[in-house]
Amino acid sequence: MFVTQSQYSLSSFLDVLLYASAAAVAAVGYYLCAQCWRAFGLRKSKRTKEEYQKVYNEIAGRLGEDYNYDDGSYGPILVRLAWHASGTYDKETGTGGSNGATMRFGPESGHGANAGLEIARNFLEPVKGKHIPEAKFPWITYADLWILGGVAAIQEMEGPTVPFRPGRQDRDSTFCPPDGRLPDASEGSQHLRHIFNRMGFNDQEIVALSGAHSLGRCHADRLGFEGPWTYTPAYVSNQYYNMLTVEMWKVRKWDGPRQFQGSTSQTLMMLPTDLALVEDENMRPWVEKYADDESLFFHDFSNVLLKLFELGVPFEEGTERWTFTPTKVQKS
Ligand code: HEM
């Protein structure tokens, strides 16, 4: 059939219109899908290990920028933040734990045990930088960021490798756990069992977790206790267990809460809950093992931190645990 020039132009015009409409529908569809994925947090599972390694590197870099804080590092307080975010877990009800990052809100931020932790939260804030336009990693949840902060701090302070699995979501203040779920340092081993069994830890794991007190110090203006546990508070080591086994500890004479002072190492301290580990006949053998063998401690410390940091987190199926390359040389 003969087709006139004007019929031909009309048909091409209609074709172009059809293609343009299809393209517009596809674009709108794509946009709507992307919004849904974003709204339901599904995009997070798309993030790669390399992207999380960049966040790790950012935290490590920031740790290396300021040696004037405390004993030369923000590392210890980052570890304490990750532990206090996770250590509220209750296995019976499935509540608490690191999912949610609810310590951003009262009442949890005001719980006595969390005194001073705003320093760690503020230290990590610019990494996510929700309120900073040029922030590099706004996509990471606070809940993942705080745990990654703990992982990076342990590794950068020459501790063991601690695997990390992403997938924690941020939740609102209605998910804050009740006060009283974290341990009271004035108590003994039965109290430690009461608190840590609730999370699902046994005696050996309580002793291994307590080795975190090789790091950092107590601050009189936070919980009342004062002083460091070891001579090297900015490095992970088994020195805490050595001090517990070799040193003579006597009650410190002062106005503050009951704590212990080393007879030789006058400047070092122990909390009642620290000494409970050597006074308890089931826990003491683990203190001695870790004092004798630092690599055993590193091995068990890594496993128990991994368990602590994952308590109660509803990870998406198919997500993996990753290990990040430290920016500093490690002992193991
Ligand atoms: C066993 C029961 C525990 C008790 C009673 C306890 C108690 C305390 C207290 C009173 C402080 C001093 C806080 C301050 O004044 O700034 C502290 C600091 C610290 N805790 Fe624990 N803790 C326990 C377990 C743990 C665990 C399981 C971890 C980590 C896995 C941990 C990591 C730390 C760190 C790294 C610091 C030093 C923080 C800094 O230097 O700012 N603690 N802890």
Tell which residue, 290, 188, 182, 305, has the closest CA to residue 242: 290
Looking at residue 18, its pLDDT comes to 61
Angle between helices 142-156 and 294-310 (to 10 degrees): 180
- Rounded to 5°, the CA angle 106-193-288 comes to 120
Ligand 1, residues 70, 77, 80, 280: which to mutate, most atoms within 8 A of Cβ? 80
Dig out the tokens for 124 from the structure: 């990590």
Q: Which residues are catalytic?
A: 84, 229
> What is the percentage of the chain residues whose pLDDT exceeds 70?
85
Radius of gyration of the chain, Cα coordinates, nearest whole angstrom: 26
pTM, two decimals, is 0.88
Is pLDDT larger for residue 86 or for residue 35?
A: 86
Closest C-alpha residue for ligand 1 atom 34: 80
For residue 17, pLDDT over 90 is answered with no
d(C-alpha 118, C-alpha 29), whole Å: 42
- Ligand 1 site, CB within 6 A: 76-77, 79-80, 83, 116, 183, 185, 192, 209-210, 212-213, 215-219, 222-223, 225, 271, 273
CB 303 within 8 A of CB 277: no
For residue 14, pLDDT over 70 is answered with no
Looking at residue 114, its pLDDT comes to 98
Looking at residue 26, its pLDDT comes to 56
Dig out the tokens for 111 from the structure: 């719980």
d(C-alpha 3, C-alpha 61), whole Å: 71
Looking at residue 238, its pLDDT comes to 98
User: How much is the average pLDDT of 76-98?
Assistant: 98
Dig out the tokens for 32 from the structure: 């709507």
Looking at residue 12, its pLDDT comes to 63
Looking at residue 132, its pLDDT comes to 80
Q: pLDDT tens across 230-246, in order?
A: 999 999 999 999 999 99
Neighbouring-strand partners of residue 249: 262
Termini Cα distance of the chain = 82
Is pLDDT larger for residue 20 or for residue 215?
A: 215
Cis peptide upstream of residue 107 (ω within 30 degrees of 0): yes
Tell which residue, 307, 230, 231, 306, has the closest CA to residue 270: 230
d(C-alpha 266, C-alpha 31), whole Å: 65
Atom of ligand 1 nearest to the CA of 209: 27
Looking at residue 134, its pLDDT comes to 76
Atom of ligand 1 nearest to the CA of 76: 35
Lowest mean pLDDT among 100-104, 135-139, 299-303, 328-332: 328-332
For residue 45, pLDDT over 70 is answered with no
Contacts of the segment 112-116: beta carbons below 8 A, 24+ positions apart: 112/179, 112/223, 113/84, 113/179, 113/182, 113/183, 113/223, 114/84, 114/182, 115/222, 115/223, 116/77, 116/219, 116/222, 116/223
> What is the percentage of the chain residues whose pLDDT exceeds 90?
81
201 phi and psi, to 5 degrees?
-105, 145
Looking at residue 41, its pLDDT comes to 45
Residue written as tokens 């045990």?
Answer: 113
Q: Which letter, b or e, does each residue of 189-206 get, where b requires 16 or more Cβ atoms within 10 Å of its Cβ?
A: bebbbebbebbebebbbb
- Structural domains of the chain sorted by starting position, each given as residue range(s) with its CATH number in brackets: 49-181+307-313+324-331 (1.10.520.10), 189-301 (1.10.420.10)
Helix (H) or strand (E) holding 121: helix 118-128
Ligand 1, residues 63, 197, 213: which to mutate, most atoms within 8 A of Cβ? 213
d(C-alpha 200, C-alpha 202), whole Å: 7
| β 269-270/260-262 pair status | antiparallel
Closest C-alpha residue for ligand 1 atom 7: 185
